[in-house]
Copies of this chain bind each other. A is one copy, B any other.
């Protein structure tokens, strides 16, 4: 049992390297000692709110140094943070707060409209803005000096493919091992500094905070994504690593023009879904050190990442599972797929969730003998590198052939006139299903020419049978395409046609 116990992460880090710079936000830099002092102060104010060890409490915040302090204050008290996506509607948030039995909601005045509505829906909930919290009385807190790696640290909701969102339980151990697995892959230098412009309410951002504490590494927090500002920050703040999703990388790559990122910048960690080969190739030409990665809320961020030495030779692959983790591809019969056969990706490791909050049945369906079924489709090449093809629910089967929307979208967005693309399957008398595409474009386009373009790059059965130009491809906060909404658009279009 002793193996499960560890010093409280922030307490230990502040003790080990108190004077190192830890968190940078706008013009302020906080050392680990200062981060500890801030978090300790907030812990005392949370106690005053009536929170105690083991409680679940909601956090609805935007990217800010204070968000880090609040998250860490929760850890100091061993209060479980139900971390809420601030892009959700009040109704969606209220649903998650109810589901998680959160006793308090910590938020900020910027979300006043939202949290007033939440309060109306849940009048028994204590709702406090951070501004109120920071001026509240302080009660000397009892700090949890040792954490148990098996204990829940955070809860983040994911929608999955069907039904209501589920609260993913992330233990201290999940976060710890994720940070360690990443360091063993990417290395760890005194000079490292990780730029966090991905949301801190997502595992992509929260995991940067954990790495900062575990590694003793500086992190720079940004609250909005602007490619110009990002490039400036990388240069001025001596950023060495950054987490991005495709859409961000596309804009950074375009903005860079003929310029290069500084040599010290050593890793552009690209997650949150598939990336087009064109983008990866463009980055390669410009010397942007892209590391493709695959992960999800349930794996406490990355679980598969491409090692530095394979970033060129295995372009397009997400890499191999991090040291402590394992991966298999399962065929539809539940057997391990061999060769390059595509199938469901299942994963195992100490960074994999122990299950969903208050959902034992779903948890035991998704996690069998430690193996978590991701629902995603991929294959392993002859050297064991993972290529992620798509989310299983999105798979289009046309005339017995598999069509993976991401692949089609990759081709479409490689066309110079196309900005973004979303592909779904629609019923078809002849083929069962056929793919169709929604596009956002730079200029007016000739649909026939696009089809010809696709036919040059894709087997005929993969080419979209219809192209619809729309204003924006609907994506969630993690930049994943909301295909349900695309289906909804289609219904409306057809209804209009009938009239």
Contact = CB atoms under 8 A, between A and B. Distances in A.
B6 A324 contact: yes
A188 B190 contact: no
A214 to B, nearest CB: 7
Interface stretch (A13-21, A454-462, A474-482): A13-21
A370 B4 CA distance: 11
Interface string A16-28: 1101100000000
Number of copies of this kind of chain in the complex: 2
Interface residues on A, range: 35 or more
A43 interface: no
Contacts of A370: 1-2, 5
Interface stretch (A34-42, A179-187, A332-340): A179-187
A248 to B, nearest CB: 26
Given A183-B184, A187-B189, A2 B352 contact: yes
B190 A187 contact: yes
A7 B326 contact: yes
A430 interface: no
SS class of chain A's interface: helix, strand, loop or mixed? mixed
Given A149-B3, A352-B2, A17 B307 contact: yes
A2 B214 contact: no
A323 B187 contact: no
Interface string A226-245: 00000000000000000000
Contacts of A1: 370
Nearest to A310: B17
B215 A384 contact: no
A4 B19 CA distance: 34
A323 B12 contact: yes
11 contacts: A2-B370, A3-B150, A7-B326, A15-B320, A180-B180, A180-B184, A184-B214, A184-B215, A187-B189, A188-B188, A189-B189
Interface of A: 1-7, 12-13, 15-17, 19-20, 149-150, 173, 177, 180, 183-184, 187-190, 214-216, 307-309, 320, 323-326, 348, 350, 352, 354, 370, 384
